[in-house]
Amino acid sequence: MSENSLNYLSKEKINVAVLGAAGVVGQVFVQALSHHAWFTLAAVIGSDSKAGKLYSAETQWLLPSPLPEPATKLILENLDMDSLKKRGIRIIFSALPAEAAKTIEPTLREKGFYIFSNAGALRYEKDVPILIPEVNPEALANIKNQGFPNKGFVVTNANCSTTGLAVALAPLKKFGIKEVFVSTYQSISGAGYPGLASFDIMNNTIPYIQGEEEKMIVELEKILELGAAVYPHCVRVPVLFGHLETVWLSFEKPVETDDIRGAWQKFECAHPGLPSLPLHPVVYSDESRFPQSKMSFWGSPSGMQVFTGRLRKEKERVGFSLLVNNLVKGAAGGAIANAELFLHTYGYECGLNTGGQEVNDEKDRG
C-alpha cells in the first residue's frame, strides 16, 4: 500500500466480506484485506460445514507469507445476507467456484450487494464487466445497466492467464494486432486447493486445462475488442504460483521491437494512486532468462505487475514472454483493485464514503 494512495473516502474504513475465504484465492483476499487502507475485512464466509470455526484452524494456509495477525481471530461464517447488511457490509469479494457462484452471485446482486467476483459464472453476461482498471476502466460504467445505484451489481475480473495477456497487449492495440498465438505454462495454484492429485502433476506437464483456451478467446475480445484471431494452448506445469505465457503477434502495420518496448515503458496506469494499482502495469527486461514463474510475487504492489521479456522479431511476427501472478493480479488483487476503482468513481454517489453506516434495504439507497 503506497504512502501516496488517494484517499477519496472518509476516515472510516468500509466493511467488506469475502466469500469462499478458505480457498486459495480467498486466502489472498484475506491477506490483502487484513491491512488495506480503505477496507476492513469484517466477514469471512465459507461452506456451511465450516461455519462457526476459527478461520486459521480450518484453512490450509498456502501462501508464501504467513497468515496476517488480524486474521488469526477471524471466525468462518455461513452466508447470511441479513447479518451482513446489519453490519454495514455491502461490498462482497467472491472467490466461489463457478458452479456455486452461478446461483449465489445473482441472489446477492438481487439483494443489493456489490459483488467483485473471480468466478467465471457471470463474466459473459452483457452488462457484467470484465474489468482490469489499467486496461478498460470505462467498462465499469456497465454496472449502471445492471441497475446501479438503485440495485446491486456484479463486476468480474478475467480468467487469470487472460488478465496477464490483456495487460501486456493493451498498449500494443494501437499497432493493430491481427493474430495472437499464445502458449501458457500455468501453475497448480490456478486449479484451486486441493486441486490436482499429486500423481497427476508431479514430474509432469498437462497440455489441457478444461475451458481455459475458450475463455482466453472470448474474454480477450470482451476486454480489448481487438478483433484479432487468438490461438491459445494452455498447459498445466508443476510450479506453485505464477502463469508464464509465450506469445507471438502479427500486426496490421509494420512494427519493430523498439515500438513494443517503448509502448510498454510508456504504459502508465490512469489511477496509480489507488492502493492496489502499480504506476507501471508492465515491467520489461532484456535479461535473457526473464521472467520466470518464481518471480510471480515480485513487483510493487507485490504480484500486481505483469513482467515481460524475450522480445524479438521473426519475419513479420513479434514474440515475447510474460508472467502474471494468477492469484494476485489474476484473481484477488485484481478484484480489490476493481473495488477501489469503483469507490474512486462512485463512492460518494452510493453513500459508501460515509463509512460504517448501516446498509438498509435496496429502496433506501441513493
Ligand X SMILES: NC(=O)c1ccc[n+]([C@@H]2O[C@H](COP(=O)([O-])OP(=O)(O)OC[C@H]3O[C@@H](n4cnc5c(N)ncnc54)[C@H](OP(=O)(O)O)[C@@H]3O)[C@@H](O)[C@H]2O)c1
Positions in the binding site for ligand X (CB under 6 A): 19-20, 22-26, 45-47, 50, 79, 95-98, 100, 118-120, 160, 189-190, 192-193, 326-327, 330-331
Burial of residue 48, with CB atoms counted within 10 A of its CB: 0-12 exposed, 13-18 middle, 19 or more buried: exposed
**Burial readout 124-159 (b: 16 or more C-beta within 10 A, e: otherwise):** eeeebbbbbbbbbbebbebbeebebeebbbbbbbbb
CB of 356 to ligand X, least distance (A): 25
Task: Kindly name the residue from 160, 234, 269, 350 that is annotated as catalytic.
Answer: 160
CB of 103 to ligand X, least distance (A): 9
CB of 197 to ligand X, least distance (A): 14
CB of 50 to ligand X, least distance (A): 5
Q: Shortest CA distance to 64 belongs to which of 253, 194, 239, 183? A: 239
CB of 291 to ligand X, least distance (A): 17
DSSP secondary structure letters along 306-364: EEEEEEEEETTEEEEEEEE-TTIIIIIHHHHHHHHHHHHHHTTTTTGGG-SPPP--GGG
Residue (177 or 296) nearer to ligand X, CB:
296
Residue (68 or 97) nearer to ligand X, CB:
97
CB of 38 to ligand X, least distance (A): 22
160 as an active site residue: the answer is yes
CB of 121 to ligand X, least distance (A): 7
How far is it, in rounded angstroms, from Cα 352 to Cα 135? 25
Residue (236 or 365) nearer to ligand X, CB:
236
269 as an active site residue: the answer is no
CA angle 204-239-41, nearest 5°?
Answer: 140
DSSP secondary structure letters along 198-257: HHHHTT--BS--TTHHHHHHHHHHHHH----EEEEEEEE-S-SS-EEEEEEEEESS---H
Residue (139 or 263) nearer to ligand X, CB:
139
Q: Hey, what amino acid is at 224? A: L
Residue (43 or 170) nearer to ligand X, CB:
43
Pull the grid cell for residue 74: 477471524
Residue (26 or 275) nearer to ligand X, CB:
26
Give yes or no for a contact between 6 and 310, defined as CB atoms under 8 angstroms apart: no
DSSP 296: T
How far is it, in rounded angstroms, from Cα 357 to Cα 359? 6
Task: Kindly name the residue from 36, 243, 271, 344 that is annotated as catalytic.
Answer: 243
**Omega before 301 within 30 of 0, i.e. cis:** yes
Residue in the shown chain whose Cβ atom is closest to ligand X: 23
Residue identified by cell 532468462 is: 289
Residue (177 or 335) nearer to ligand X, CB:
335
Read off φ and ψ for residue 337, nearest 5 degrees. -60, -35
- Active-site residue list: 160, 243
